[in-house]
Chains A and B, each alone.
Chain A
Amino acid sequence: MKKNILLIYVSSMLMLIGGCARNLDLNPLSEGSSENWFKNENEITLALNDLYRSDLWYIESNRLFSTDRYSDDWSQREQLYEWAAGATTGMTGEVINIWQTLYKGVARSNTILYSLDRATDNVSEERLNQLRGEASFFRACFYSYLIFLYGDVPFVTDYITIEQAFELGRTDKNVILKQVYDDFDVAIQYLPTSYGNDLMRVTKGAAYAFKARIAAWMLDYRTCAEAAKACIDLDEYSLHPDYGDLFLSKTHTSPELIFTIPRSLALMNDALASNSFYIRNAGGTAVAQPSWELFCAYTCTDGLPVDESTLYDPQQPFKNRDPRCAATMVEFGTEHLGFIYDPGAEKVLNLTTNKMVTNKDALLNDQFAAYNGMCLKKGVDEEWMDDKKTETGIKLMRYADVLLMYAEAKMELNEIDASVLEAINKVRARAYKVAHTQTGDYPAVTETDQARLRTIIRNERRVELAWENRRWFDLLRWRLAEIALVRPVYCLPVKEGLIANIASGDYFFPKGVLPEIDENGLVDLSPLFATGKIRAVVQRKFDPRQYLFPIPSKEVQINNNIQQNPGY
């Protein structure tokens, strides 16, 4: 009897525990496994899609106007970023983040490229080549940034283990450049020129354009000129008829746009804090503005710089200027976001209520009004205001850039011909909304002297591409940062001084003095500061070591094969 009881109890106990030993072979429930990925077109496409994510384009997308804030186009109260203060080290956040995301892009492109073989049974060779072209394009882009920003870098094109990674040192950037060109050539070979009504993915034209860009960065003007020419010769692109309209968030398609990464508020991908860039009357904070250096770089309508042109009036500085000036910055006395913008007025008109209101965009009323009285206009529209976010896309490459790269490369090669002048003039004429052939309606460029044309082209790039993340790269490759970026950031005086300036007629700029503009188009405002009527808020600094980013300290510290860039 007792035995039976025991048996019953023990067996029921075992049943309670449930004879079911828990299976320990558990696999991810909501993720995929890379072990068996890349076996069909859909899976490869999903992996390629990842390369379009704005996260991987950190350097272009980390903020609105990412790198412009390091340049002389930027004025942000008394704030400077670590790089602009000359304080960059291998521990600087941007240096590390940019490095990490670029290499993530490289690794993901590599993974696709060496995994394509898995799909040979399921995908046609033609289609596979197109996918190969796309992945090659991205790898070339990511390496382009790497060698321009960091110089010689570790070079990986295949699967590597951790042990292999630690054996790597830095590869000569020219060796990598060769691979970049090769990758772009594969992309050029296999990518279509357009996708019709399908998703706008990267194209042959984009591959040419980005090849031209890295060639320009590496001062390989021959390759740059050829690639830019090939892009132009595709006859796929033309300039958007309205310069100002091109940059608005609504403009997703235009024959000028070669490669963009769109943003969308509804799809939860937006750029935050756009309110830093618009007026305080409309609820913005006006933290950052286009600098006076940029403002002074726009030529007058006679094509001459402000220190030479008789059309320039320091008290009415928007008058007679290149139209891109007023398209980039809000002209005083004009309407902007529902208000008349005038940093010198106590009260301004609210166009919605048709009432005069206290002008928060004047230092006369508000200590945090734009320090230099400027206000960004390029790309800014009502859409920015609803929630201080914007869905303005990231325009990575547009045709005007290609035209100017072509002109610059040919100029540097001293092959200045009609095609060079045509390329510049197309860009300039579009600003005046005329055809480049209507040379009487805009200050067409006719200069053929290499040095003088260099000055013109460099300034043209600056004003055409202002606040599009191009200026900082240009200053670095032209080796002009050591001149341009060691000057203070200037702005209007505080309230009491501004009242005095207005009273004495020294508003907007002091009378009788002009900025000095050198042969590189760099603007020196120190003569204005010498009058005591403007203030210098912060001192930019540049150490020539900053022509290259440092290698992130960690990489140097964990791997003896990696040496730091000179000067750091």
Chain B
Amino acid sequence: MKRKTLHTLCVLILTQLVFAANSYAQPYEQKKLSLKYSSASLKTILNAIEKKAGVVIMFEATDAIKKEKASISVTNQMLSQVLDQLLKPVGMEWAIRGNVIRLYKTKNAKTPPSTPQPAARNTSLTSVPNTDPGPVKGQVTDSTGAPLAGATVYVKGTSIATKTDAQGNFTIPAEKGQVLEISFVGYNNKEVVVREQGQLAIALSVMETSLDQLVVIGYGTQKQRDLTGAVSTVKGEEVSKRNEVLLSTSLQGLAPGVAVTRASSIPGNHATIRVRGITTIGDSDPLILVDGVPVDNIDIVNPNDVENISVLKDAASASIYGARASAGVILITTKKAKNNELNLEYQGNFGITQLTEFPATVDYKRYMEMINEIAWNDGGNQAGAEYGIYSKDFIDSYAANHQSDPDRFPITNWSDIVLKKSAPYTRHGLNLSYGNKAVKSKISLNYEKSDALTDNRSFERITSRMNNDIAINKYLTAEVGASFVHELRENANINPVSIAYKYGPLWTPYWSDGRVSDGRNGANTWARVKYGGYDNGWDDQFLGRIALNFKPVKNLTITGTLAPTIQVHKEKKFNKQVPYYELDNTTSPSGFIDGSLTTSLREARNEVRTMTKQLIANYSLNIVNRHYLTFMAGYEDYYRFTERLGASSDNFLLTDFPYLDRAPLDYMLNTGNASEVAYRSYFGRIAYDFDKKYLIQANLRYDGSSRFHPDYRWASFPSVSLGWVLSEENFFKNLHIGAIDFIKLRGSLGTLGNERIGSYPYQSVLNFSNALFVQGGTVVARTTAAQQSYAIRNISWETTESWNAGLDARFLGDRLSLTVDYYRKNTKDMLLALEIPDYMGYSNPSQNAGLMHTKGWDAQLGWRDKIGDFRYSVSVNMSDYKSVMGNLSGIVYDGDQIIREGSEFNEWYGYVSDGLYQSAHDVDNSPKLSVVVAPGDVKYKDISGPDGVPDGKISPEYDRVLLGGSLPRYLYGGNLNAQYKGFDASLVFQGVGKQTSRITEDMVYQTVAWHTFPDFVDGNYFSQYKTEEQNRNAKYPRLSQLSYQGNNYKMSDFWLFDGSYFRLKNITFGYTLPPTWTDAAKLAHVRIYASATDLFSLSKYPKGWDPEAGSAVAYVSKTWNFGIQVRF
């Protein structure tokens, strides 16, 4: 019999243990039974038959079984007759082997090849065409090693089946190469290939309903069902199947309230993660813990090693990490080996990276004409001066000249020269898992290398991780884990992406014979990238963790953890002299390229050591029936030491020895400094659960930080959360709302702290430097000392009080799930570097500034189901928040953004535009910013003046206003997954629903004369050469260097636009080879797959600009990826 998929649902209701071996005596189909049902579901009736006849009925999940109603009334009839009577009307037939009855549709009756026809019902087991079916023995356990009694063991392709005994043992006649399928209610099916005639050890994993899943929370785990805080979870497979190198980017779009933004696809560039938005001006990175140990960067973990990720979003779930939790907490649990497991898995990927988009620029002719127009405008539009830079003759004859002399009259497309068409990416991963009762080990080793789309830039990484669980004795278990990550970033000394679209077409980086030219007057980025040396960085990161779990009495666990990390960063910037040649001087170089004038070397070594120590006790108590209590108490301390060392030298005579001792003794510079930070914390939790209905949890954390003065150092962060499982209430059950499986209401209240503001903010630190003096005709250096920042002695914790209300619901048989959270946060004593008067002579110190109010929500909706062999799921999430500043005792200016009372956090701040000045009369009779303004410039509105009324002038002091929040709103993401037989497919999308973005200078502004103009500006700007009508409709101001700097590009709403976008993030197709094929090759599992990342996006960004590439030196690329996964 050919089973259609692995995923046939087996419903097994067992009342007695039945052993196939001793049940031949009386055929089951002859058993007599009595039944009486009227219009009951077929499933119910079949269940009853199983109970009464002691058989196992297996069927593929079809709508018929679920939906079909049947009536039957029999007394003491044979099972065969009962089944015929019941099934024929619904178009089904049955077959029996031993005590296992299989149902199938009549239509397909002729196809199942090895299924006995109904006529052959009496065929005995011995007639199965096995040549030498020796007995195969085995034991079925759960993942912890506990035996599973009554599990069905079935030889695939035959009708041989049996069940396990009370110890989980079974014996079944099967031959080498046959596949056993083991199933047990509530557990995932498993297939095992018979290799030897020995004892098989088979561990089944629990088939979780979404509510039974264990969720990792701070210092513990909880079932999804029992959660009272706002926690988003992401499964390891969701990130690993994205096939991205970095975990940070793999998280994009996966969890509501978790915003992942990346500035570019340059290999190795970390993405930024924000949990429920920005909370403070300084460090808004969430606290990241890997197996309970804080780390600096999420990308220290390979996506393939992730078992699951929990994001603690509200105060109640995060406050257990009090001190550092205000920006949210991300808990990463890495994979561990399971019991009775021994396998080796290899995964190999090959990918190709290509640009998504790239902005176009004007051609050589328009470039020259537009440069002339700038000069004419800035020269005062004097008659006869229209060809101020390029004469008409020069422009008109350029194309012809280029034909005959391309070196002297180049037309260069810099993006073609600087950007590669594609770049490769490879990845290899090995995973070894081994587990028995005493020791479970998982070891992984991954290697990745990705090249950038520019020359001499790549990212290479080796990650390795080892997790061991060791059961030492009845009281003591140990977890020993270590990971080592090595990263190498190879970079050219300069990132050439910006020049690719900025450099004008009239210069060439090399002559037609290949010699390096002086580019644009010695500026030749191409040559620097190609020959100018490198700026490489190495990172070695070691994380160790030893945890001892001591269980002195039942339900009490004391865990002591010691986790050191060591990070070493090494940098080597070797800047090589790059000579260039004159066109007509082929023999000797004429000079050196700017930035590569001398050969210099700069080396840096930074070391960070941290140590985390924890002592935690967990105790759970079942006071009386239905009352459950758990306690947790803990102590933690953390120390971090950073030391930096730098050395550099210049004017190397040789360009092949990148070592400092090859440098001349003068021009040498050494630097070094160090800092340290420590925390100490006490914390505890009580959770109470009454009858799975009422849940309450309280947390308290008491934290001290070395950053503050002893008098202001300690703070406590309490929280409480409640859960009410509405669907467990009798009154709810009595409502008989069949579609609703589960509803839980959650509420939480708590406070969080933040203190990340430099190491010693309360101390008046003297900074040392050097000044030069003349002594006896020579120049000497002397040490200097000065206090550069103002010390706020009583600076202390920033606290965020927040409440969260949430709903978790499951509908339609756990197929539809919904989680919604609404929250408010009030940040008090917010740490902000408020502006102090510059005439104090200090930089702005961080202060406990004031209040911020945040409101937000996040939601996730999921659907999963299957239609026959087709299983699919859809999940979408969305989140939004808005932070408004309350009473601050000051203002923060951050470039073109502001933080002040009533503003959003980082709100755009600038002038309000009123179109373009259309005429000299308009200019003369309108308020203006300065005398630089002329027709065609951006006109601003006169909002106010020193006396609170418009004063006829545009001034930065009185005419700039809030222009709307700059942060993204309505972040959304979603994924679709589908599986059919061996095929699987998934799709991830992600985007921003609303964002007020700015057209950056890079996009629109030709900064210097040799830079060219964006294509989208040409034809759309105000010009003396155009009609009044055309100018009235101009989208961009006139071409002018003076006005761009002096007026037009000042921050104003003129440059704001809707920056929302939709992005198709990832599509993956996979195919798992049939076990019969893989087994022939002695393999356990083989999957091949192909995926594509960042294929497509929609946005209103200027043509050619990717919505995620924020700056001129960045690009976003798409990746085509092919891979294979083999388990031995």
Q: Which residues of A contact B (CB under 8 A)?
A: 2, 5-6, 9-10, 13-14, 16-18, 21-35, 37, 43, 46-47, 49-54, 77-80, 82, 85-91, 96, 99-100, 103-108, 110-111, 153-154, 156, 160, 162, 165-166, 168, 197-201, 252-253, 260-269, 275, 280, 283, 285, 357-358, 367-368, 386-388, 391, 393, 488, 494-497, 532, 535-539, 541-543, 552-559, 563-564, 568
Contact = CB atoms under 8 A, between A and B. Distances in A.
B763 A35 contact: yes
Interface in B1033-1057: 1041-1042, 1045-1047, 1050
Contacts of B126: none
Contacts of A358: 582, 584
A34 B765 contact: yes
Given A50-B784, A283-B522, A494-B387, A16 B775 contact: no
B777 A53 contact: no
B378 A538 contact: yes
B1081 interface: no
A104 B840 CA distance: 7
A22 B674 CA distance: 18
A10 B706 contact: no
A24 B706 contact: yes
B562 A27 contact: no
Interface in B802-843: 835-842
Contacts of A552: 838
A199 B710 contact: no
A111 B842 CA distance: 12
A201 B765 contact: no
Contact of B1046 (A16, A85, A156): A85
Pick the most buried of B378, B475, B776, B777: most chain A CB atoms within 10 A of its CB. B378
Nearest to B933: A87
Given A260-B774, A564-B955, A24 B705 contact: yes
The 6 closest A-B pairs by CB, nearest first: A107-B841, A87-B1046, A32-B766, A50-B784, A283-B591, A30-B673
Nearest to A109: B841
Contacts of B956: 89-91, 553
B893 interface: yes
Given A32-B765, A46-B784, A267-B780, 20 more contacts: A2-B552, A22-B637, A22-B638, A29-B673, A30-B672, A43-B785, A51-B771, A53-B771, A87-B1047, A89-B955, A91-B956, A156-B840, A165-B839, A200-B774, A261-B772, A267-B779, A283-B590, A393-B779, A497-B391, A535-B385
Contacts of A23: 678, 706
B625 interface: no
A391 B781 CA distance: 14
A267 B781 contact: yes
A78 B672 contact: no
A9 B550 contact: yes
Interface of B: 374-375, 378-380, 382, 384-385, 387-391, 393-394, 475-476, 521-522, 546, 548, 550, 552, 558, 560, 562, 582, 584-585, 590-592, 594, 597-598, 613-615, 635, 637-639, 650-651, 666-667, 669, 672-680, 704-706, 710, 713, 759-760, 763-788, 790, 835-842, 890-891, 893, 929-932, 946, 953, 955-957, 1009, 1041-1042, 1045-1047, 1050
B293 to A, nearest CB: 14
Nearest to A106: B841
A263 B774 CA distance: 9
A6 B552 CA distance: 6
B769 A53 contact: yes
A200 B765 contact: no
Q: Is the interface of B mostly helix, strand, loop or mixed?
A: mixed
Contact of A25 (B706, B780, B931): B706
A557 B891 contact: yes
A86 B929 CA distance: 10
A54 B637 CA distance: 44
A86 B1009 contact: no
Contacts of B787: 34, 108, 111
A24 B713 contact: yes
B634 to A, nearest CB: 10
A37 B766 contact: yes
Contact of A26 (B651, B677, B842): B677
A90 B957 contact: yes
Nearest to A44: B785
Contacts of A542: 931
A108 B786 contact: yes
B783 A49 contact: yes
Pick the most buried of B598, B667, B785: most chain A CB atoms within 10 A of its CB. B785
B1083 to A, nearest CB: 43
Contacts of A558: 835, 837, 890-891
B768 A539 contact: no
A80 B932 CA distance: 11
Contacts of B582: 357-358
A108 B1042 contact: no
Given A25-B710, A46-B785, A260-B774, A368 B891 contact: no
A47 B785 contact: yes
Contacts of A37: 766, 785
A61 to B, nearest CB: 11
Contact of B771 (A49, A494, A559): A49
Contacts of B782: 46, 49, 199
A494 B389 contact: yes
Nearest to A490: B379
Given A30-B674, A50-B785, A554-B838, A22 B521 contact: no
B522 A14 contact: no
Contacts of A86: 930-932, 1046
A388 B597 contact: yes
Contacts of A52: 771-773, 784
B548 A16 contact: yes
Given A28-B763, A267-B781, A556 B957 contact: yes
Nearest to B707: A26
B957 A557 contact: yes
A71 B764 CA distance: 41
A291 B787 CA distance: 42
B760 A28 contact: yes
Nearest to A250: B777
Given A50-B769, A50-B785, A78-B1009, A24 B931 contact: no
B676 A29 contact: yes
B836 A162 contact: yes
9 contacts: A6-B552, A10-B552, A23-B678, A24-B704, A26-B706, A32-B785, A89-B930, A558-B837, A564-B946
A264 B779 contact: yes
A513 B466 CA distance: 87
Pick the most buried of B679, B839, B953: most chain A CB atoms within 10 A of its CB. B839
Given A87-B1046, A555-B839, A53 B957 contact: no
Nearest to B548: A13
Contact of B615 (A17, A47, A556): A17
A30 B673 CA distance: 5
Contacts of A262: 772-774, 779
Given A9-B552, A90-B956, A82 B1046 contact: yes
Contacts of A88: 930
B893 to A, nearest CB: 6
B562 A269 contact: no
A541 B957 CA distance: 22
B680 A541 contact: no
Nearest to B675: A29
Contacts of A80: 378, 1041-1042
A491 to B, nearest CB: 10
A162 B558 CA distance: 50
Contacts of B835: 554, 558
A496 B840 contact: no
Contacts of B891: 557-558
A91 B955 CA distance: 9
A280 B637 CA distance: 63
Contacts of B548: 13, 16
Contacts of B676: 26, 29
